[in-house]
Amino acid sequence: MKLNEQLANYPSEYLAFLVEFHTSRDYFRCHDLLEELWRDVSLSLEKDHVYVGLLQVAVAMYHWRRDNVRGGQLLIEGSIEKLQGKREQLEALGIQFHECIALLHHLAAAIESGLAYESPNIPLTLELNEALRLSCEERNQCWQTPSNTADEYLVHRHLYK
């Protein structure tokens, strides 16, 4: 399957979320992208929608990177609660379900233990991961690059909005 065909299977806001999550690590922007998509697809604004669980992962990473352990812990636990019952939906989004849930539990334990922030990568299917990597390469973006924790605007973006 060609690159464009592979990516055409997913909403553009979702793909933009994945690119931000794995390149710039602009978790604030990740939240905004999925919130917009969630509002578009969920007229009832279901609080347990799969997009809510994914945006909580991004916001948890935002808080953890800022050393807000309590905020990070609450949000990562909320994402686990929402996503652990969403196997079919996550797999439809090209996310490896079991690996994703294991990653979330790992992140929750790391945050709770007070470990330093790490830049996680959402476990995507090989096909989606490769399609996004190639797409990013075409745009001179570094796929799955670690967060620039020295970038004050990125780390404390809510202060600049």
pLDDT in tens, 119-148: 999 999 999 999 999 999 999 999 999 999
Query: What's the rounded Cα separation, in Å, for the pair 61 and 71?
Result: 9
Query: What's the rounded Cα separation, in Å, for the pair 29 and 96?
Result: 23
Helices (H) and strands (E) in the chain, counts: 9, 0
Contact, 127 vs 94, CB < 8 A? yes
The single-letter code of the amino acid at 95 is I
Q: Can you tell me which residue has the tokens 């939906």?
A: 89
What does the domain layout of the chain look like in residue ranges?
A: 3-155
Confidence grade of residue 151 (pLDDT, cut at 50, 70, 90): confident
Given this model, what pLDDT does residue 160 score?
78
From 64, 61, 25, select the one nearest 153 (Cα to Cα). 25
Given this model, what pLDDT does residue 37 score?
84
The single-letter code of the amino acid at 2 is K
Q: Which helix (H) or strand (E) is 55 found in, with range?
A: helix 50-65
Of residues 148 and 47, the one with the higher pLDDT is: 148
For residue 153, pLDDT beyond 70: yes
Tell me if the domain spanning 3-155 has CATH number 3.40.1350. Answer: no
Confidence grade of residue 60 (pLDDT, cut at 50, 70, 90): very high
Given this model, what pLDDT does residue 44 score?
60
SS3 of 8, please? coil
Of residues 89 and 153, the one with the higher pLDDT is: 89
